[in-house]
Structure 1
Amino acid sequence: MSVSRRTMAGAVALAGAAGAAWWLSGRPQDGQNAPDVSYTLLGGQQQRLSTLRGQVVLVNFWATSCTTCVAEMPELMATHRKYAPQGYRTLAVAMSYDPPAYVANFTARRQLPFDVTLDNTGDIARQFGDVRLTPTTFLIDKQGRIVKRYVGAPDFAGLHQLIERLLAQA
């Protein structure tokens, strides 16, 4: 590789690293406490994420217009049904740009078995590090710490193994 190509490759790598650092700054990282967001469920009940401490929680940011989100929903439902009796909770956070009627219709039509909230103001997404890409999913342990963040659909076999490990912890 010539000197100019090496210099260009180095500059591109440095720019990529700087971009990744900028993108990750301010975003909750694995091992950090999850933000104690308050939210209103579609049924009107007010809740705080901290009330779920002692349980393993999956927070999924999604939108009805997101094909990957819609495609992964049956897996999220099956995961919830499988682990809910053991102390596992799912919170689906519909993005602020998603029309409330679409979210309510989707939730009712699919009979989602878990909690759904509409992030009307975008505040929940901001508190989770300005989530903009859907689906983005956070797995939170019983102590309220973020264990893993997924951008895009997770590998559900690996997710299930991680959930089982977290449920087994005291």
Structure 2
Amino acid sequence: MTTSKTSRLLAPALLALALAGGAYLAYQSLGARETAPRVDYVLLDGKKADSSQWRGQVMLVNFWATSCTTCVKEMPQIVATHEKFKGRGFDTLAVAMSYDPPAFVAKFAESRQLPFGVAIDNTGQIAQSFGRVQLTPTTLLINKRGQVVKRYVGEPDFAALHALVEKLLAESV
């Protein structure tokens, strides 16, 4: 076989091999999960906290605003989800967006007796850290290993969310 014939046969084989390798890597990355960022925040009660405290728990982080009608509508279901799972290694953090007036957030949290931590993202840094969250509500579900398992933009299907929380609570760290 001449060199030119070998090259013509070898080039498609190398291309096929490269494509197969790329497809394999893309398939592998589907299972890869984004690690939740490390963020510092201050709760409405003045207590300082950070995301390293979430390790070993399943966390629901809900970005919301008092001016968001869907956020206000879904909040009772966020509360019910928290109440249902809180004794089993599950916690919730509601993060009010930077544009939400702190007095409105505090009044909302108090009048609704929110049973979980509420932080105000004054600088927008928390939303930025979680992938430039801009739309509310945006809810993230984080597993015990600190990986973002699901990101909901808009109101979640709470039955499906609860099923996923059950599954994540059953996983080992």
Specify if TM > 0.5.
Answer: yes
Out of 144, 147, 150, the residue aligned to residue 145 of structure 1 is 147
- The letter of the residue matching 1:118 is I
Out of 104, 107, 125, the residue aligned to residue 105 of structure 1 is 107
- The letter of the residue matching 1:144 is G
Match of 2:67 in 1: 65
Match of 1:44 in 2: 46
Distance 2:83 2:93 in 1: 13
Match of 2:81 in 1: 79
Match of 2:55 in 1: 53
Which aligned runs of 4 or more in structure 1 are off by greater than 4 angstroms? none
Q: 5+ unaligned residues in a row in structure 2: which ranges?
A: 1-31
Residue 35 of structure 2 aligns to a residue in which SS? coil
- The letter of the residue matching 1:93 is V
Match of 1:88 in 2: 90
If you compute each CA radius of gyration, which structure gives the higher value, 1 or 2? 2
Distance 1:133 1:50 in 2: 25
- What is the CA distance between 1:50 and its match in structure 2? 1.2
- What is the CA distance between 1:152 and its match in structure 2? 0.1
Distance 1:50 1:149 in 2: 19
Distance 1:43 1:59 in 2: 18
Distance 1:36 1:87 in 2: 19
- What is the CA distance between 1:52 and its match in structure 2? 1.2
Residue 134 of structure 1 aligns to a residue in which SS? coil
In the alignment, structure 1 residue 162 sits paired with structure 2 residue 171: no
Distance 1:79 1:137 in 2: 13
Residue 162 of structure 1 aligns to a residue in which SS? helix
TM-score (norm 1): 0.82
What's the Cα RMSD here? 1.1
**Count of aligned pairs:** 142
Match of 1:9 in 2: none
Distance 1:51 1:80 in 2: 17
Distance 2:34 2:126 in 1: 16
Residue 91 of structure 1 aligns to a residue in which SS? strand
**Mapping of 1:109-148 within 5 angstroms?**
109-148=111-150
Distance 1:66 1:124 in 2: 18
- The letter of the residue matching 1:129 is G
Q: Percent identity of the aligned residues?
A: 63
Deviation readout 1:115-137 (Å, 9 max, x if unpaired) = 00000000000001111100001
- What is the CA distance between 1:151 and its match in structure 2? 0.2
Match of 2:12 in 1: none
Q: 5+ unaligned residues in a row in structure 1: which ranges?
A: 1-29
Distance 1:59 1:31 in 2: 16
